[in-house]
Amino acid sequence: MINQIEPWINEEELVELKRVTDSTFLTEANLTREFEGMTRSLTGAKHSIAMMNGTVALFCSMKALGIGPGDEVIVPDMTFIATANAVIMAGAKPIFCDVYPDTFCIDVERAEGTISEHTKAIIPVHLYGQSADMVKIKILAHKYNLRIIEDAAQGIGVTFENRHVGTLGDLGVLSFYGNKTITCGEGGMVLTNDDELASKCYRLKNHGRDKKGIFVHEDIGYNFSFTEMQAAVGISQMKKLSKIISRKKVIHELYRRALANLDRLLPVHIDNRTEPVYWFTSFLSDDVDELSKYLLESDIQTRRFFYPLHLQPCYKNNEMFAANKRNFPVSEDIYKRGISLPSSYTLKEEEQTFVIKKIEEFYANRY
């Protein structure tokens, strides 16, 4: 099977993991601090707080801002469901908003139309390695006094106007889940330039205290700690990041060039203010169902776009989402037409050539 995405894991991770077994510290300690430091160097964020996954990092970001019951938070309709579930976890209500047809990121003009007296924050998602329009989002947030939490779960390495995504709002979140550009298996990171928000996030993930080993708790908190095993894998992955990003760019460009003459398979638009990371290489086509089935017959795995939030069975019939009964023509359309092709660092040249050949064959047979 040619996987749509798989991590690049080898002996290099073992070298860092050996440091953990040598130290005998398994719970977060020095390697976690090192990994957080590497994340700050990469992104330019003043603070980085490692957590067990990106979902709880989003939850803590909202809690740190005091968002909770009675509040509304605007999220794009086209995203992985964790963006909205983290809002629910914080006790607030996610308000879905359609996305732009070119970048697939939140439509800021439509977002303005969803604002009510309860709206406290907006969560732009930097989808598939692009950036949301942070200029417009900041203007909107300023106008309505909203806080910005960037969901950069898919955005490591992505910059918008030369600044790393996740550092442009009040807080930003990275994910290191197994399918991300780099991974720790599970893992998340809160980024912020705000000292107070950083210490609130740290306390939230550490049972409401500033350090481990003290038993007087200033706040009510949780246990979302990282582990040294995750940090070891993360350190090793971080060292590979630039190679992974470059290789994915080569893969993306080869697909784009090789498939350029297929006018039924359209490449995605890249905003020229964004330096993307081609976490996924995606195309739009009216034939994605048949195309993905055809490729699977040759053991080529592809991925459809995220199922729009407003259609999710778990939200659709839930009273809480009555306010979300709007139209979402763009997310519905790109869900129907989006397909992501194999684009792992580990994809071999001959495998990519085979994928391209099969796609050409599919369209030649069909039209």
Q: Interface with ligand PLP by CB under 6 A: which residues?
A: 53-55, 79-80, 82-83, 125, 151, 153-154, 175, 177, 188
Closest distance between ligand PLP and the C-beta of residue 94, in Å? 12
Closest distance between ligand PLP and the C-beta of residue 144, in Å? 23
DSSP H helices, 70-164, are 82-89, 108-113, 134-144
Q: Which is nearer to ligand PLP, 67 or 355 (CB)?
A: 67
Q: Which is nearer to ligand PLP, 259 or 334 (CB)?
A: 334
Q: Which is nearer to ligand PLP, 166 or 188 (CB)?
A: 188
Closest distance between ligand PLP and the C-beta of residue 85, in Å? 9
Task: Please give the helix or strand (H or E) that residue 72 lies within, else none.
Answer: strand 72-76
Q: Between helices 54-64 and 82-89, what is the axis angle to 10°?
A: 40
CA-CA distance, 71 to 320, in Å (whole number)?
12
Q: Which is nearer to ligand PLP, 83 or 312 (CB)?
A: 83
Closest distance between ligand PLP and the C-beta of residue 155, in Å? 9
CA-CA distance, 159 to 179, in Å (whole number)?
20
Instruction: Answer yes or no: are the C-beta atoms of 120 and 94 closer than 8 Å.
Output: no
Closest distance between ligand PLP and the C-beta of residue 80, in Å? 4
CA-CA distance, 258 to 249, in Å (whole number)?
14
Q: Which is nearer to ligand PLP, 154 or 159 (CB)?
A: 154
Other Cβ atoms within 10 Å of 200 Cβ, number: 24
Q: Which is nearer to ligand PLP, 89 or 356 (CB)?
A: 89
Instruction: Answer yes or no: are the C-beta atoms of 176 and 230 closer than 8 Å.
Output: yes
Both ends of the chain: CA-CA distance in Å? Answer: 27
Q: Which is nearer to ligand PLP, 76 or 342 (CB)?
A: 76
Entry field: residues in the chain: 367
Angle formed at CA 213 by CA 233 and CA 175, multiple of 5 degrees:
30
Q: Which of 295, 294, 288, 291 is nearest to 335 (CA)?
A: 288
Q: Which is nearer to ligand PLP, 150 or 228 (CB)?
A: 150
Q: Which is nearer to ligand PLP, 179 or 298 (CB)?
A: 179
Closest distance between ligand PLP and the C-beta of residue 270, in Å? 18
Instruction: Answer yes or no: are the C-beta atoms of 191 and 48 closer than 8 Å.
Output: yes
Closest distance between ligand PLP and the C-beta of residue 354, in Å? 28
* Residue nearest to ligand PLP as judged by C-beta position: 54
Other Cβ atoms within 10 Å of 50 Cβ, number: 28
Instruction: Answer yes or no: are the C-beta atoms of 305 and 255 closer than 8 Å.
Output: no
Closest distance between ligand PLP and the C-beta of residue 114, in Å? 19
Amino acid (1-letter code) at residue 355:
V
Instruction: Answer yes or no: are the C-beta atoms of 192 and 203 closer than 8 Å.
Output: no
Closest distance between ligand PLP and the C-beta of residue 213, in Å? 27
